[in-house]
Amino acid sequence: MNKSEILQAILAILEKDFEINAVCNADTSLVEEEILDSMDWIGFLGKIEEKFQIIISIEDTNKYQLAIIQNLVDYLQRSIDV
């Protein structure tokens, strides 16, 4: 899966499961910009794990700053290409 496909999958989850149609770019932080609150963030990570069939640790969430869309895309690409 390339970065564009991963980004589209992330945006689809935001729209379908969280009814969020916010304009998001690579630098958007889903939590800091209050697109997702802390409870939605946890649910969102669960949807990401389900979609990409991976487990995201709390340590990775913080270490790689996965609330930033570009960081999440990069992380997912590395994780699913392994």
Q: What contacts 58, CB < 8 A, 6 or more positions away?
A: none
CATH number of 3-80: 1.10.1200.10
Confidence at residue 24, expressed as pLDDT on a 0 to 100 scale: 84
Residue pLDDT, tens place only, 8-62: 999 999 999 999 987 888 899 999 999 999 999 999 999 999 999 999 999 999 9
Contact 13, 44 (CB under 8 A): yes
Q: 80 is written with which tokens? A: 């699913």
Confidence at residue 23, expressed as pLDDT on a 0 to 100 scale: 81
